[in-house]
């Protein structure tokens, strides 16, 4: 399917509005709802539009966050009413500081929209903005929805039909294009070349690092799909092995017919640097890496490896030897039509800071690494 520029533009504008703290009005059949991401949902913003909105205030959360709040086995993204007198700033604090024991907030009956996609669309917008995947919202009153387009225009608020916001991740990967390239000499390989790819929805940038380009065998290319890790790749954090895997992959490629490292802007298994730090703070208080992500509202792994498959197709790579311990990467690119000839594992150095991380990944995610933890 070719990239749909109109749909892509709509999604990109919605993501950017959330990032800047602007409200969105999203239509669901004949109803209109005003949304704010939880990070920007201060009471003063709602107060400005109160005369246009019903009193009831709602919170939309992922199933992971709902389970942490209600301690139930909830299987879908849901929303629930909050006491309309509750100061929205208290709700914001509860989500930005997930372990805070805020007794002021009272949650009422769990609810679901008739269309499951409506929940998912709103949550996906927050995830693609790399924000906490929770939104505060109110319904536009019946009186004012008759002139909803005039209201939105006068107040500078973008109005969307939720149906225009579906398939976000698919469209993001399809929008990726090669924008620039240059030779960049590396300590281990002075002939390396960097190719920069940009997604025109959400503005993420990804890099294909071509190691030893003159020695690459195009029939089967050595490949490492590497998610950017600010803490590990740059500062050599002891909490993960990301920088170690990156260096091992480059060394392998230098010794064995070159290769390609896809350096993807997917920090913290796709949740972004700010949310990764929130997860780290929860881990410091006793949670493991997966439970911490769940508590903020994320899946075990939020990365979309269709991005990698898209870049490989642009580079006309059809068969690879993949350097990874993660079988999800292998399955994702296979599904996209890339043939995987061999899997090459990396070997982490264990220490007291990363031991529990590996133990959790092996136990809960099937991380393909056999080490004594």
Q: Cα–Cα distance between 108 and 95 in angstroms, integer? A: 17
Selecting among 19, 224, 278, 303, the annotated active-site residue is: 303
Q: Cα–Cα distance between 155 and 126 in angstroms, integer? A: 22
Selecting among 120, 293, 301, 304, the annotated active-site residue is: 301
Q: What is the SS3 assignment for 57?
A: strand
In which element (H, E) is residue 293 found? Answer: helix 289-296
Tell the burial category of 220 from Cβ atoms under 10 Å away from its Cβ (0-12, 13-18, 19+): middle
Q: What are phi and psi of 125, to 5 degrees?
A: -60, -45
DSSP-derived secondary structure letter, 186: -
Nearest Cα residue to 55 out of 63, 66, 64, 46: 46
Catalytic residue status for 303: yes
Q: What is the SS3 assignment for 173?
A: helix
Beta strands in the chain (DSSP E): 24-28, 31-37, 57-61, 78-82, 107-111, 134-139, 158-161, 177-183, 193-198, 205-211, 221-227, 259-264, 319-323, 339-344
Catalytic residue status for 310: no
* Catalytic positions: 301, 303
């Amino acid at each position: 399917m070719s990239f749909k520029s109109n749909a892509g533009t709509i999604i990109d504008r919605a993501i950017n509005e959330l990032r800047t703290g602007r409200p969105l009005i999203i239509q669901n059949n004949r109803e209109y709802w005003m949304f704010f991401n939880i990070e920007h949902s201060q009471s003063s913003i709602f107060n400005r539009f109160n005369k246009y909105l019903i009193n009831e205030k709602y919170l939309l959360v992922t199933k992971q966050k709902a389970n942490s709040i209600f301690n139930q086995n909830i299987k879908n993204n849901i929303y629930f009413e909050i006491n309309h007198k509750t100061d929205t700033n208290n709700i914001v604090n509860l989500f930005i500081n997930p372990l805070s024991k805020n007794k002021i907030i009272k949650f009422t009956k769990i609810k679901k929209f008739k269309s499951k996609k409506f929940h998912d669309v709103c949550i996906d917008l927050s995830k693609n903005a790399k924000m906490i995947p929770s939104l505060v919202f109110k319904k536009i009153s019946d009186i004012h929805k008759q002139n909803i387009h005039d209201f939105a225009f006068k107040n500078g608020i973008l109005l969307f039909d939720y149906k225009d916001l579906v398939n976000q991740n698919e469209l993001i990967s399809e929008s990726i294009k090669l924008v620039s390239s240059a030779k960049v000499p590396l300590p281990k390989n002075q002939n390396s070349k960097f190719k920069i790819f940009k997604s025109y929805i959400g503005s993420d940038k990804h890099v294909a690092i071509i190691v030893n380009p003159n020695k690459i065998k195009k029939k089967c290319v050595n490949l490492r799909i590497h998610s950017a890790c600010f803490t590990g790749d740059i500062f050599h954090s002891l909490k993960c092995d990301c920088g170690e895997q990156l260096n091992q992959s480059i060394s392998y490629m230098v010794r064995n017919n070159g290769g390609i490292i896809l350096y993807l802007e997917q920090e913290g298994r796709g949740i972004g640097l700010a949310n990764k730090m929130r997860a780290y703070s929860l881990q410091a208080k006793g949670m493991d890496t997966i439970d911490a992500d769940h508590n903020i509202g994320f899946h075990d792994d939020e990365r979309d490896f269709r991005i990698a498959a898209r870049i490989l197709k642009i580079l006309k790579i059809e068969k690879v030897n993949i350097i990874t311990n993660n079988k999800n990467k292998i399955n994702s690119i296979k599904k996209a039509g890339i043939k995987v000839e061999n899997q090459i594992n990396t070997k982490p150095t264990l220490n007291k800071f990363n031991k529990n991380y590996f133990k959790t990944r092996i136990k809960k995610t099937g991380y393909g690494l056999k080490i004594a933890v």
